[in-house]
Amino acid sequence: MNLSKAFPQNSSLKNLKVFQKDPLSYMNKAVTESGSPVDLHLPMGDFVLLNDPEQFAQVFSKERTHYAKSRGYKEIALVLGNGLLTSEGDEWHEQRKALQPSFHKNELRKLLPALWETGFTYTQNLVNGQSLRLDTEMSRLTMTILLNSLIKYQDDEMVSKMSEHITFGQDFIVNRIRSPFKWPVWVPTKTHRSYHRMMTDANQLIQKCVEDRKLLNKPVGDLLDVLMDHYHPDKEFVEIRNQLLTFLVAGHETSAIAMTWTLHVLAHHPAIQEKLYQEVKGLKSLEDLDLMNYSNLTYTQKVIKESLRFYPPIWNIVRLVKESDNIGGVNIPAGKQVMLNIYLMHHNPAYWPNPDTFDPERFTDYSQLKHKLQYLPFGGGGRFCIGNNFALYELMILTVQFVRKFKILPKRTEKVDFNPLLTLRPKDAVEVQLIERN
């Protein structure tokens, strides 16, 4: 059985520096020169990089027998416990079966008025000529939306405290995944003390929401209702907390980044923005959107899809090999980690003509796609993103609200670089200027 090619042939400190400076270009060079699969020796460990949708399909189809979530998920579990994102096997299956119905389009329909209202109020408070720092603002906006949908009726203090904790939790996870050596969290370092304080406070905040809901004793149409139906609020409080934190972490930064890049790319493509404006300018209310079948939002849909292709918020999926496998004629031994690099797949010229051109029209006819896994912003297989419909509604509604009220102009002409951590964060501030339309 063959072994996969290594990139580069001779690993050196210089190469590792190149990787650290620009990981995406480094990985692109690896697949261009050595094909897929290719072995990478990176500062965080040894990986096998894949860049072929058929190979992705194989990993997804053997997800329960041959692959497990990557080693990094152990760090994620320090904050999220054993929720839907981090659990495995039968435990994951049972959770997914219980939670899936709440993310059905018909259920999400109930959340749309609040989503519309939040986006509407937010854009109404912006003024003509204003500069908007997208990365920080979209983070705040999407956190408010998510918290409103998960736990209705919390006060402003709760929103800002939870935002603080989730931001701390995300950075804590990223830093641990990136460091080659880390102390166990019981060692009383300064960061660990902050981590324990954050977990205790988040626990108390969620506990209060659960107690309030028990007193209210009636459903209010949010995700906490669903969790309290499924789990016993006293005996299984930890499970409720884990799932709420999971949805906050999995749904927050992804949506914030998707909105940031979407508004950024529109600012840099005035003709596409104008075409989008023509489609949405007459939409005055949620009813006009007809979101259930998107019939009057065909161009908006294409723009969002292309934005998620061009800038996939989760740019890389990693799995640990539990049972050795053969991918593309190459032996992949147990213990290795495989990378399914979504960003490279979305920019692979064998599947996307002119991959580095932003062109929503490529989504006019889905049958043009050569392979269904050449496009996977929400992942694939059984662990496909449960919040994908929620995210798409959110992105559509917010984009419509922005574009119908403002012309979005770029503040800078230089390219914004990536800082690809768990998500495809921009390296620097992303700013636009808003000019009110008459």
Which spans of this chain sit near ligand HEM (rule: CB under 6 A)?
84-85, 96, 246-247, 250-251, 254-255, 258, 313-314, 317, 377-379, 383, 385-387, 390-391
Residue closer to ligand HEM, measured from CB, 34 or 317: 317
The one-letter amino acid code at 43 reads P
Residue closer to ligand HEM, measured from CB, 36 or 148: 148
Is there a cis peptide before residue 180, judged by omega within 30 degrees of 0? no
Residue closer to ligand HEM, measured from CB, 390 or 402: 390
Minimum distance from CB of 311 to ligand HEM (Å)? 10
Residue closer to ligand HEM, measured from CB, 34 or 170: 170
Residue closer to ligand HEM, measured from CB, 347 or 383: 383
Characterize 273-294 residue by residue with b for buried, 16 or more Cβ atoms within 10 angstroms of its Cβ, and e for exposed: bebbbebbeebeebeebebeee
Minimum distance from CB of 30 to ligand HEM (Å)? 21
Instruction: Cite the DSSP H helix spans in 68-222.
Output: 72-80, 89-99, 105-108, 112-124, 134-150, 156-178, 190-216
Residue closer to ligand HEM, measured from CB, 387 or 410: 387
- What the block records as the tokens of 432 is 């636009």
Minimum distance from CB of 261 to ligand HEM (Å)? 10
Minimum distance from CB of 401 to ligand HEM (Å)? 17
Residue closer to ligand HEM, measured from CB, 7 or 169: 169
Minimum distance from CB of 380 to ligand HEM (Å)? 8
Task: Give the number of other CB atoms < 10 A from CB of residue 179.
Answer: 12
- What the block records as the tokens of 299 is 């161009």
Residue closer to ligand HEM, measured from CB, 119 or 313: 313
Compute the Cα dihedral for 312, 314, 315, 320 and give only its sign.
Answer: negative
Residue closer to ligand HEM, measured from CB, 363 or 390: 390
- CA 313 to CA 307: how far, in whole Å? 10
Which residue of this chain has its Cβ atom nearest to ligand HEM in the complex? 387
- What the block records as the tokens of 167 is 């931001």
- CA 321 to CA 331: how far, in whole Å? 11
Minimum distance from CB of 251 to ligand HEM (Å)? 3
Characterize 355-381 residue by residue with b for buried, 16 or more Cβ atoms within 10 angstroms of its Cβ, and e for exposed: beebbbebbeeeeeeeeebbbbbbbbb
Minimum distance from CB of 152 to ligand HEM (Å)? 14
Task: Give the number of other CB atoms < 10 A from CB of residue 320.
Answer: 17
Minimum distance from CB of 87 to ligand HEM (Å)? 8
DSSP notation for 9-72: SS--HHHHHHHHH-HHHHHHHHHHHH-SSEEEEETTEEEEEE--HHHHHHHHHTTTTTEEE-TH
SS3 content of the chain, % helix, strand, coil (to 5): 55, 15, 30
- CA 300 to CA 303: how far, in whole Å? 5
Minimum distance from CB of 148 to ligand HEM (Å)? 12
